[in-house]
Amino acid sequence: MALTLERETAVTVTRHRTFGQDLIAVAVIVVAAAAGYLLFPDNLALLTRLIAVALLVLSLDLVTGYCGVATLGHAALFGAGAYAAGIASAHYGINDPLLMTFAGIVAGAIAGLVCGVVILRAHGLPQLVLSIALVYLFHEFANKASSWTGGSDGLSGISPDPLFGTFEFDLYGHTAYIYGVALLLTALVLLRFLVRSPFGMLCRGIRQDPLRIRAMGASPKAALIKMYMISGAVAGIGGALNAISTQVVGLDSLSFTQSAEALVMLVLGGTGSLFGALVGTLIFMLFEDYVSAANPFHWLTIVGALLILVVLFAPKGIYGTAAAYIARRREARA
C-alpha cells in the first residue's frame, strides 16, 4: 500500500513538474515571438518563413525522433500542403485563410499516408532511398502538372482574404506572422499531448523494440502509418502558412534540399523533443541568414563548421544536451 502511494505521488509530482516546464516553454515562445515582432518589424517575412519551416521540422521529429523512421523526403508533405492551399485559392477561389490551412492539413495527411505506406515497407538505408525517391516523384509530378501548379514558374494568383474578415495580409507581413505564431503554439500544445498519450508511448516503444511491441499484440506498422499521417498534417500546416504568407508556391517547397535542411535542423536542436526541433530551426535559419549576409562567399563553410562542432560536442543536439545537463544537476542536488 505504501509503495503504491509513493508511486502515485512520484507520478503526480512528475506530471506537475512537466506541466510547469511546458508552461515556461510556451511563455518563452510567446515572449520571443513578441520580441521578434517589435524588434524586427522589417524581417517579419523571414520570421514567418521560420515558423513554417519549424512546423516542418516538428512533423519530422514525430516520425524520426519519436518513431525512429529514417526519412529524407519530408518536404513532400510540406509541399503537398503548400500546393493544396495555393490551388484552393488560385483555381477554386477559396481564399479564406482558415479553409486554405485546412486544405493544407488534409493534403499533408494524405501525402503522409502515401509516403508512410511506401517507406514503412523497408528499414534502415532502404527507407532513406524510398523517401528520396518519393520526394523526387512529388517534385516531378508538380513540375509536369503545370496547368495546376504553375510548373517551374511557380503557382501564383494566391490572394488570401483578411483573417476573420478584419485583418488583412499586408505587404509587411504583420497578420501572416501573428497567424503563424498562433498556428505554431496550437500545433505545439496538441503535439505535447500526443507524444505523452498512450499512442505516443506506443510509438516510442516501437522505436526501442518493435518485436516486443508486436509480441504484446500491437501493430507497429499501423501505429507508424497513423503517426505519419499526423506528421503530414503538421507539415501541411507549415506548407499552407508558407503559401498564405508568400502568396506563391514554387517547386523548391518539394525539393530534396528542403528535406535535408529540415533533418539538419532537427539534429542541431535534438531529436525526440519537440522543443529541440524549434531550437534547431531558430538557430540554423537565423545563423544562416546573418552569416550569408556578412560573408556571402564563405557562409556555407561557417555553417558546416557549426554543424560539425554541435555533432562532435553536443551529440544530443543543443536543446537535448542542455536538457540532459539540467536533469543531471537536479539529480545531483536531490
Instruction: With beta carbons less than 8 A apart as the criterion, state whether 187 and 52 touch.
Output: no
| CA–CA separation, 125 and 130 (whole Å) | 9
The pLDDT tens digits of the residues spanning 124-154 come to 888 999 999 999 999 999 999 999 999 888 8
Q: How many CA atoms lie within 13 A of 131 on its CB side?
A: 28
How far is 35 from 186, CA to CA, in rounded Å?
19
| Per-residue pLDDT, 3 | 45
Q: Say what the pLDDT of residue 165 is.
A: 85
Task: Summarize the confidence of residues 180-189 as an average pLDDT.
Answer: 94
Contact 253, 93 (CB under 8 A): no
State mean pLDDT over 77-106: 95
Residue, of 294 and 181, whose pLDDT is higher = 181
Q: pLDDT digit string (tens) for 207-217?
A: 888 888 888 88
Res. 42: pLDDT tops 90 = no
- Whether pTM > 0.85 for this model: the answer is yes
Which of 2-6, 9-13, 58-62, 65-69 reaches the highest mean pLDDT? 58-62
Q: Once rounded to an integer, what is the mean pLDDT over residues 36-47?
A: 88
73-91 pLDDT per residue, tens: 999 999 999 999 999 999 9
What is the C-alpha separation between 141 and 333, in angstroms, rounded?
Answer: 57
pLDDT of residue 334: 67
Greater confidence (34 vs 20) lies with 34
Instruction: Write the CA distances from 87 to 189, 241, 295, integer angstroms.
Output: 29, 14, 38
Angle at 178 between CA 43 and CA 176, to 5 degrees: 65
Across 123-191, where does the E strand assignment appear? none
Average pLDDT across the chain, whole number: 88
Q: What pLDDT, on the 0 to 100 scale, is given for residue 17?
A: 60
Res. 96 pLDDT band, cuts 50 70 90: very high
3-state secondary structure of 218: coil
Tell me, rounded to whole angstroms, the distance of Cα 88 from its chain centroid. Answer: 22
Quote the pLDDT of residue 288: 86
Q: Percentage of residues in the chain with pLDDT exceeding 90?
A: 53
pLDDT of 186 strictly over 90: yes
Give per-residue pLDDT as tens, 294-329: 877 777 788 888 888 888 888 888 888 888 888 788
Q: How confident is the model at residue 19 (pLDDT cuts 50, 70, 90)?
A: low
Name the pLDDT band for 95 (thresholds 50, 70, 90).
very high
Model pLDDT for residues 46-69, shown as the tens digit of each residue: 999 999 999 999 999 999 999 989
Tens digits of residue pLDDT in 213-266: 888 888 889 999 999 999 999 999 999 999 999 999 999 999 999 999 999 999
Contact between 111 and 93 under an 8 Å Cβ cutoff? The reply is: no
